Chains A and B, each alone.
Chain A
Amino acid sequence: EAGVAQSPRYKIIEKRQSVAFWCNPISGHATLYWYQQILGQGPKLLIQFQNNGVVDDSQLPKDRFSAERLKGVDSTLKIQPAKLEDSAVYLCASSPGLAERFRETQYFGPGTRLLVL
Chain B
Amino acid sequence: AQSVTQLDSQVPVFEEAPVELRCNYSSSVSVYLFWYVQYPNQGLQLLLKYLSGSTLVKGINGFEAEFNKSQTSFHLRKPSVHISDTAEYFCAVSDPMNRDDKIIFGKGTRLHILP
Task: Assess the A4–B43 pair: CB atoms within 8 A.
Answer: yes
Smallest distance from the beta carbon of B72 to chain A beta carbons, Å?
18
Task: Assess the B90–A58 pair: CB atoms within 8 A.
Answer: no
Q: Number of A interface residues at 8 Å Cβ cutoff, please give it.
A: 22
User: B108 contacts which chain A residues (CB < 8 A)?
Assistant: 40-42
Binds B, one of A12-20, A67-75, A78-86, A95-103: A95-103
Task: Assess the B102–A111 pair: CB atoms within 8 A.
Answer: no
Binary interface encoding of chain B residues 41-58 relative to chain A, with 1 for a CB under 8 A from any of its CBs, else 0? 111111001010000000
Task: Name the interface residues of A40-70: CB closer than 8 Å to any CB of B.
Answer: 40-45, 56, 58-59
Is the CB of B105 closer than 8 A to any CB of chain A? yes
Q: Number of B interface residues at 8 Å Cβ cutoff, please give it.
A: 23
Is the CB of B11 closer than 8 A to any CB of chain A? no
Binds A, one of B13-21, B62-70, B93-101: B93-101
A105-B46 contact given A42-B106, A45-B102, A56-B102, CB 8 Å threshold:
yes
On B, residues with C-beta under 8 Å from A are 32, 36, 41-46, 49, 51, 90, 92, 94, 96, 100-108
Task: Assess the A102–B107 pair: CB atoms within 8 A.
Answer: no
On A, residues with C-beta under 8 Å from B are 4, 40-45, 56, 58-59, 91, 93, 100-103, 105-106, 108-111
Cα A61 to Cα B45 in complex, Å, equals 26
Cα A108 to Cα B44 in complex, Å, equals 6
Cα A111 to Cα B32 in complex, Å, equals 24
Smallest distance from the beta carbon of B10 to chain A beta carbons, Å?
11
Cα A40 to Cα B102 in complex, Å, equals 20
